[in-house]
Amino acid sequence: MALEPFDALRRIAFLLERSRAGTYRVKAFRGAAQTVADTEPDELRSRAEAGTLGDLPGVGKATAAVIEQALAGEHPAYLQSLEEKSRGPLATGGEELRAALRGDLHSHSDWSDGGSPIEEMVMTAIELGHDYQVLTDHSPRLKVANGLDSARLTRQLGVIDAINKHLEGSFTLLKGIEVDVLDDGSLDQTDDMLARLDVRVASVHSKLKMAKAAMTRRMVAAVQNPRTNVLGHCTGQLVDGERGIRGRSDFDAGAVFAACAEHDVAVEINSRPERRDPPDELISLALEQGCLFSIDTDAHAPGQLDFLDYGCARAQQLGVPAERVVNTWERDRLLAWANPG
């Protein structure tokens, strides 16, 4: 079945993001897809026949070829090449756990430092078979990531309500935040705003080289906060990628995970391949401590929502049982856990 030009360009962008391709290439195809969406079909066809697609904003040689081939009823050659390279899961060994996941508790949109609108993230999550997705844009003090203050977050909650009304229960976009853990362990958002959310991921993003005792106190205090549901990428490490290598924060993992177990806070298994956070030995320690887990993508682009394969492969290899992974739970059980009061 032939693809429409918009769908072909969008699929290419997804596959590029999934394969961790450069941002410039991804933007070219996402930009061209938006141009196609904004252009009348008759104009698109007449330009294809006249060879003037390149005069449209954001359409270059490669994207014009995709549009022309799709309009001609052909499967675009570039898309076919990407599909051949990306067959099968991104990682092997976690298929059973991946099949059990119902959603993802950590994702970003272009409201903070993500690359795509909320609607595109939702559309992709639905296509991947999710029942729900938590939108967790950053909190205000993380200015480098365009974190949301209370006013912007309030506006975002209205957008989420409108999306869910349109979806009529077929899928649920849950209200969330990746809230910064401040130096003293407090959370970077008002308690009133946190109370309006469905799920809260608490993460350390600053002063990652803080002394061990201070970092331990900071993280334990965040975990003890009754609004915290998930402890995000706990060591802050980076093992490869464009941002380079970064070592782990130094903290007493036993004390932090004991607090997680006591306060029913899930330890995030961050699926981003450049993070691999927590490291294997800390996942095993959290398992021994009786912790719950959340396998998340921390996606900043639609194609990265498929990174769950990486996290599931690690979790299954290390013996994490599906019943202790909170995003294998159906939506109402997840919400009851995240908001027990």
Which amino acid belongs to residue 31? G
pLDDT of residue 212: 98
Q: Where does a domain end: 25, 60, 85?
A: 85
- 302 vs 10: CA distance, rounded Å: 10
Domain assignment present for residue 32? The answer is yes
> What are 173's two structure tokens?
């976009």
Which helix (H) or strand (E) segment is 199 a member of? Answer: strand 199-203
Same-domain check for residues 185 and 50: no
Same-domain check for residues 252 and 171: yes
- 299 vs 302: CA distance, rounded Å: 7
Domain assignment present for residue 255? The answer is yes
Domain assignment present for residue 197? The answer is yes
Domain assignment present for residue 100? The answer is yes
> Percentage of the chain with pLDDT > 90?
97
CB 105 within 8 A of CB 201: yes
Same-domain check for residues 141 and 166: yes
Structural domain of 173: 95-338
Residue 289 carries which DSSP code? T
> What are 143's two structure tokens?
């200015």
Distance from the Cα of residue 333 to its chain's centroid: 21
Same-domain check for residues 32 and 137: no
Q: 């990428």: which residue's tokens?
A: 233
Strand order in the sheet with 103-104: 103-104, 132-135, 172-180, 199-203, 230-231, 266-270, 293-296
Sign of CA dihedral 187, 239, 275, 220: negative
Same-domain check for residues 125 and 68: no
pLDDT of residue 262: 98
Same-domain check for residues 76 and 115: no
Q: Where does a domain end: 44, 62, 85?
A: 85
The model's pTM:
0.96
> What are 176's two structure tokens?
């969330």
Over range 242-265, report the average pLDDT. Answer: 96
Which helix (H) or strand (E) segment is 93 a member of? Answer: none
- CATH number, domain of 64, equals 1.10.150.110
Same-domain check for residues 200 and 306: yes
**Model pLDDT for residues 118-152, shown as the tens digit of each residue:** 999 999 999 999 999 999 999 999 999 999 999 99
- CATH number, domain of 154, equals 3.20.20.140
Over range 79-96, report the average pLDDT. Answer: 95
CA-closest candidate to residue 123, choices 203, 23, 33? 33
Domain assignment present for residue 60? The answer is yes
CA-closest candidate to residue 18, choices 303, 241, 300? 303
Over range 151-156, report the average pLDDT. Answer: 98
> What are 324's two structure tokens?
């202790």
Same-domain check for residues 14 and 113: no
CA-closest candidate to residue 297, choices 288, 284, 309? 309
Same-domain check for residues 31 and 136: no
Over range 295-303, report the average pLDDT. Answer: 98
Same-domain check for residues 114 and 76: no
341 band by pLDDT with thresholds 50, 70 and 90: confident
Taking residue 319's Cβ as centre, other Cβ atoms within 10 Å add up to 9
Alpha helices in the chain (DSSP H): 5-18, 23-38, 41-50, 61-71, 77-85, 95-100, 118-127, 150-167, 191-195, 212-224, 253-263, 280-288, 308-317, 331-338
Which amino acid belongs to residue 62? A
Over range 219-244, report the average pLDDT. Answer: 95
Strands 230-231 and 103-104: unpaired
234 band by pLDDT with thresholds 50, 70 and 90: very high
Residue 243 has pLDDT above 90, yes or no: no
pLDDT of residue 1: 63
Q: 């903070």: which residue's tokens?
A: 112
> What does the mean pLDDT of the chain come to?
97
Over range 24-43, report the average pLDDT. Answer: 96
Range 256-277 burial, b when 16+ CB lie within 10 A, else e: bbbbbbeebbbbbbbbbbbbbb
Same-domain check for residues 59 and 99: no
> What are 190's two structure tokens?
């008002």
Same-domain check for residues 120 and 157: yes
Over range 106-116, report the average pLDDT. Answer: 97
Over range 260-284, report the average pLDDT. Answer: 98
Residue 170 has pLDDT above 70, yes or no: yes
Domain assignment present for residue 90? The answer is no
Q: Where does a domain end: 42, 58, 85?
A: 85
Domain assignment present for residue 305? The answer is yes
Over range 309-335, report the average pLDDT. Answer: 98
**Domain total for the chain?**
2
Residue 50 has pLDDT above 80, yes or no: yes
